Copies of this chain bind each other. A is one copy, B any other.
Amino acid sequence: MKIIGIDAGGTSFKVLVIDGSDGIVARNRVATTSPQETLGEVAQWIDCQKSEHPDIAAIGIASFGPIDRDPASPDWGRIGVTTKDGWEGANPRRALAQSSGLPCALETDVNAALLGECELGAGLGLSDAAYLTIGTGVGGAALVDGALVGAPWHGEFGHVRLRREPSDIAAFAGSCTFHGDCVEGIASATAIRSRWKAQPHELPDDHECWVEVSSALAQLCHAIACLVAPQRIILGGGLMLRDSLLARIRSDFDAVVGGYASRPEVLDASTYIVRAGLGDDAGAIGGAAVARHHLAVTGGVNA
């Protein structure tokens, strides 16, 4: 059985045909312009793939948001208020289901990434896992006994409040429009650019910025361990490409935990907090995982 996985991003749609045993058997990338043009081009490519691979069983989309992620909603897949010109009100899930005649499932990009990691990546086989992406913003997702938290809505992992050093509070009010210095307002690439007037990748490993970024992310991981108590926390996103940041977060996390946890996995950050295992294809693989997740849960999805 093959699945089409789509990473629907603000810059481009990446589309993969994934075979359960052979992995990725075809790939394409389509620029995100207007819904008509982009979805039309994706639909056309899927049509070609269907004639070449008649065992394609479903489509799964990992989508930028905000989206209606409720499979029970008549508007499942509809994009809400967005700065992305022309996309408000578009429904990539419905459009591709109708054009292809295939069942088509959709999730937020972060939820999809977590499902992908639990199917093929750093959370292989876990029923209880959390995922954070640290890039332009900070987002997250968690599975409890195989179910995504917050359905039919989602969590706001990046907006947890932090304890900060008084000198940091005095120096920087944070970049979050809603909360100032929540996790996203301190530890995202946007926050780093705003406070240090530099791109994160330009700042060396020993730059002072990483002290507070690491503290913020370790505090967020600790709140997740306290409230969701997953088996593992997986970190992805552009900022996590830096090895020294992962090492700092683990060290800060051990200090915040203070040797106290019910779940024993929490007590060793070196195995509890890990880097995402799927690379550039994570979004599209996550999309395919969404399709399989919905096929497993519902035994099929409506077009």
Chain A residues near B (Cβ < 8 Å): 66, 128, 140, 142, 144-145, 147, 149-151, 153-157, 159-164, 166, 178-179, 219, 222-229, 256, 258-264
Contact = CB atoms under 8 A, between A and B. Distances in A.
Interface of A is mostly: loop
B162 A163 contact: yes
A244 B66 CA distance: 37
Contact of A144 (B147, B159, B163): B147
Contacts of A263: 150, 153-154
B226 A228 contact: no
A163 B161 CA distance: 7
Given A153-B262, A162-B163, A222-B160, A227 B227 contact: yes
A157 B227 contact: yes
A151 B126 CA distance: 12
A231 to B, nearest CB: 10
A144 to B, nearest CB: 4
Contacts of A161: 163, 219, 222-223, 256
A7 to B, nearest CB: 21
Contacts of A264: 153
Contacts of A157: 226-227
Contacts of A156: 225-226, 229, 260-262
A155 B223 contact: no
* Residue picked from A150, A161, A162, A224, most chain B C-beta under 10 Å: A150
Contact of A227 (B179, B219, B224): B224
Contacts of A160: 222-223, 226-227
Given A155-B226, A160-B226, 10 more contacts: A142-B228, A144-B149, A147-B147, A150-B228, A153-B263, A154-B229, A156-B229, A161-B163, A162-B163, A178-B258
A282 to B, nearest CB: 22
B228 A260 contact: no
Given A144-B144, A144-B147, A229 B155 contact: yes
Contact of A178 (B144, B147, B223, B259): B259
A163 B145 CA distance: 31
A300 B28 CA distance: 51
Contacts of A219: 161
Given A164-B163, A222-B160, A150 B229 contact: yes
A161 B263 CA distance: 18
